[in-house]
Chain A
Amino acid sequence: GQNIDQPTEMTATEGAIVQINCTYQTSGFNGLFWYQQHAGEAPTFLSYNVLDGLEEKGRFSSFLSRSKGYSYLLLKELQMKDSASYLCAVLDSNYQLIWGAGTKLIIKP
């Protein structure tokens, strides 16, 4: 079966750095995506990795290792507005998105 694993919840301090991990086992791989979802709102696209390595976009970076079936989202200089759920999703061989359950990130002052 297809599976995406990520921690259920994480807590971090304002101004700090946090890394959210995601491991996956899917039928094929055509890219990995990170989405941000604030409580009660729709997910919004954050990043896309299809090749191994690090993609940086401002305070957010996403890393991929296809051989290990592993990705992480790195958030720097945390702000209170970063409190949200972060969803990891993989595009499988049929170009269907397989979604993780999301990691709820709590930022404390």
Chain B
Amino acid sequence: SQTIHQWPATLVQPVGSPLSLECTVEGTSNPNLYWYRQAAGRGLQLLFYSVGIGQISSEVPQNLSASRPQDRQFILSSKKLLLSDSGFYLCAWSVQGAHTGELFFGEGSRLTVL
């Protein structure tokens, strides 16, 4: 069966510090991968998605970046965090080429920037 894990689960970082959130998927090949951010009272905001190794699409211009160094690994990074980067970050995968909205989410990472 397929599983998805992301870490760390919680993170408290000072403004201006770097960030690295990691996500790995097991049990499937060539998945679509996504990074979302969820702010209180708002819908999920798509940050990045990837259809293959090294292929990253950015939906929202910001100080975050994403990389996909391996087929089932997706990393969200920042060189300098802002207060506005606080939120609940979710990694997700879907079946490649299925054009489906059925996403499978990781456990989430709660980031607090102080």
Contact = CB atoms under 8 A, between A and B. Distances in A.
A31 interface: yes
Contacts of A97: 44, 46, 101, 103
Interface in B74-114: 90, 99-108, 110
A8 B105 CA distance: 22
Given A45-B103, A48-B101, A89-B101, A100 B108 contact: no
Nearest to A89: B101
Interface residues on B, range: 10 to 19
The interface residues of chain B, by DSSP majority, are classed as loop
Nearest to A90: B101
B108 to A, nearest CB: 5
Interface residues of A, number: 24
B29 to A, nearest CB: 20
Interface of A: 4, 8, 30-31, 33, 40-45, 48, 87, 89-91, 95-102
Contacts of B105: 42-44
A30 B101 CA distance: 9
Contacts of B43: 4, 87, 89, 98-102
Interface string B30-47: 000000000001111110
Q: Which of A44, A89, A101 has the most CB of B within 10 A?
A: A101
